Amino acid sequence: MSPSSLVCVALLALVGLCRAAAPHPDLGREAHLQLLAAAASEPERHFAAWAVRHNKPYAKSQLGVNSLAGSEVPARFTAWLENLAFAIAHNANHRSYWVGLSPLADLTSEEYKAHYLGFDGAAYKQQRAARQASNSAPRFKYADVDEKSLPAAVDWRKEGAVTPVKNQAQCGSCWAFSAIGAVEGVNAIYTKSLVSLSEQELVDCDLSEDKGCQGGLMDNAFQFIMKNKGVDTEEHYPYTAMQGKCLANHLKHRVVTIDGYEDIPENDEAALKKAVAHQPVSVAIEADQKAFQLYIGGVFSDVSCGTDLDHGVLAVGYGVDASGVNYWTVKNSWGPEWGEQGYIRLAAGVNAKEGMCGIAMIASYPVKTTPNPPEPGPEPGPEPGPHPKPPKPQPVACDETSNCPVRTTCCCVMDFLNMCLQWGCCPIEDAVCCDDQQHCCPPTLPLCDTDSGRCLPASGNYAVSMPWLTKTPAVRTFKPLVDCLFARSGNAPCSKKVHDKVVA
């Protein structure tokens, strides 16, 4: 099947096949080699299954049927085939680590570099040199730590100082994820509470030196957080994978603070180890190799990985594997499906002073010595406006043609054929209209005694009474009601008489 024929393809796949081409980091090297061989034997089917697994925008699955559609499918399939061939050839010559069909396997090398690498190594070197020349760089506080006293292995994930792996997506914001990860770590160590913080605040608002999705530097991010006197939470200022307008009200939501940051002596893996033993550390590496793009597992050791730093990540530990190889545990920001649940192990203690992929060249960490500010309260609502004036009391409408004054009761004083021709007004609300059509009583004394002209209670002590009230004429708002008798059928404005509660 040619790539062009894949513009719209539907393939029936069993559940097992849906995952066949999607590597699982818990599987060993040999199992991944078998997965790659299977994908090479039936590439169309495995590409569809891989695309569905990784939620590619051109793929969907319904009732076991994998569908690919869209103009970009041929280009994605071509890149995927090239990366599959590279992975098979690469794994035949490397034993310490293996590569495969990572979530980035449908990207060319150029696309991968453009969208996922965002660290400006050249700018960082200039900035650090200027800082050192001005003697403004603080002393490396772990310099006097005896390396022999350090633990044989460190993993800050096990200490509750590392948030779950995040995904920067196709935005060159790796610098923000590295810096925020380091702040999350030092804050968790200081407060004993792990809080996920906002990379998006840095992408949107830290623009004096950094460039959002176009790259930035971790030290600049630390400076921004210090200047802003804190950073917001991820929950309150969530990630969008694009640079947006800086939300000024979120800048005031300062949940976690830092008190400074320090650079680790460059090209010194021993110094880096001292720092990582005490907290997660922001590091920069060269990550533009196709092997890094497609990394699946093992200890990454590749002499072709140089020192042109282009990616910011987070060193969260170190250790030794079963074969005695030393490594750094590095948290990436490409989601948990990449690498070893979102992490890569880089070889440590290599001959090059810069470290594997330049990991020891430019490293730094935030410093925290003071508590965070009190938890922000709810954001205030809009300023209340002036209280609206109470509505003006309206006259009481008797019908379409007459009304009574405010707080009175309409009572019919003339009717014909069950139609009220003239209304009167009782001077109290909710009054009872008496049968003589001239008087009314209050609701508390609802019985109209026509003999005595008094209002009595509904039952009980008739000694309690009051003189009944006299109605006043209602105000006419329309032509005389008698005219309605001669109006054309169906349009007469006359009201039907309301049967009043009366007592003879």
* Bigger pLDDT: 214 vs 126: 214
- E strands of 150-259, at which residues? 154-155
Amino acid 132: pLDDT: 67
Q: Alpha-carbon distance 36 to 105, whole Å?
A: 12
On whether the pTM is more than 0.75, the answer is no
Strands 59-62, 65-69: pairing kind? antiparallel
Place 137 in a pLDDT band, splitting at 50, 70 and 90. Answer: low
Sheet holding 454-456, edge to edge: 447-449, 454-456, 466-467
First to last CA, the chain: 100
Give dist(CA 55, CA 382) in Å, integer: 41
Nearest CA among 176, 175, 168, 212 for reference residue 197: 176
Q: How confident is the model at residue 465 (pLDDT cuts 50, 70, 90)?
A: confident
Using CA atoms, how far apart are residues 327 and 155, in angstroms rounded to an integer?
12
Q: What is the pLDDT of residues 222-238, one digit of tens each?
A: 999 999 999 999 999 99
Residue 390 has pLDDT above 50, yes or no: yes
Nearest to 206 by CA among 252, 251, 270: 251
* Strand bridging mode 97-99 / 363-367: unpaired
Q: Are 65 and 268 contacting, i.e. CB atoms less than 8 angstroms apart?
A: no
CA 268, 172, 306, 155 torsion-angle sign: positive
pLDDT above 70 for 4: no
Q: What's the pLDDT score for residue 61?
A: 75
> Comparing 8-22, 234-248, 304-318, which segment has the lowest mean pLDDT?
8-22
Across 373-389, average pLDDT: 74
Q: Is 174 an annotated catalytic residue?
A: yes
Active site residue 311: yes
- CA dist 426 and 472 (Å) reads 7
Paired tokens of 1: 């099947």
What pLDDT, in 10s, does the model give residues 315-335?
999 999 999 999 999 999 999
What element of type H or E holds 433?
strand 432-433
CA dihedral 489, 490, 495, 496 (to 10 degrees): 90
pLDDT band at 21 (very low <50, low <70, confident <90, very high): very low
Which of 131-145, 194-208, 397-411: highest mean pLDDT?
194-208
Please report, rounded to a whole number, the percentage of residues in the chain having pLDDT higher than 90.
66
Measured distance CA(182)–CA(361) in Å, rounded: 17
What pLDDT is stored for residue 126 in this prediction?
74
Evaluate whether 471 touches 434 at the Cβ level (below 8 Å): no
Catalytic hit among 18, 171, 174, 425: 174
Query: Quick one: how many helices (H) and strands (E) in the chain?
Result: 12, 25
Give every strand in the sheet of 439-441, ordered side by side: 432-433, 439-441, 469-470
Of 113, 108, 119, the C-alpha closest to 358 is 119
Choosing from 90, 250, 311, 439, the catalytic residue is 311
Cα torsion 205, 206, 212, 214 to 10°: value is: 150
Is the predicted pLDDT of residue 19 greater than 60, yes or no?
Answer: no
pLDDT at site 377: 66
Q: What is the mean pLDDT of residues 201-225?
A: 95
pLDDT of residue 481: 44
Catalytic option among 171, 332, 440, 448 = 332
Residue 489 has pLDDT above 70, yes or no: no
Cβ atoms of 494 and 423 closer than 8 Å: no
CA atoms of 322 and 87, how far apart (whole Å):
24
**Comparing 147 with 130, which gets the higher pLDDT?**
147
Mean pLDDT of the chain: 87
In which band, very low, low, confident or very high, does the pLDDT at 29 lie, cut at 50, 70 and 90? Answer: confident
Q: What is the mean pLDDT of residues 126-155?
A: 84
- According to DSSP, the β-strands at 295-300 and 343-347 are parallel
Lowest average pLDDT, out of 112-116, 256-260, 482-486, goes to: 482-486
The residue whose two tokens read 């590749």 is 302
Residue 46 makes CB contacts below 8 A (sequence gap 6+) with: 17, 20, 21, 38, 39
Please compute the mean of the pLDDT values over residues 239-266 and round it to a whole number.
Answer: 95
Q: What residues contact 288, with CB distance under 8 A and at least 6 apart? A: 109, 112, 113, 117, 308, 310, 311
Q: Is 332 a catalytic residue?
A: yes
Domains of the chain: 3-99 (no CATH), 109-367 (3.90.70.10), 396-496 (no CATH)
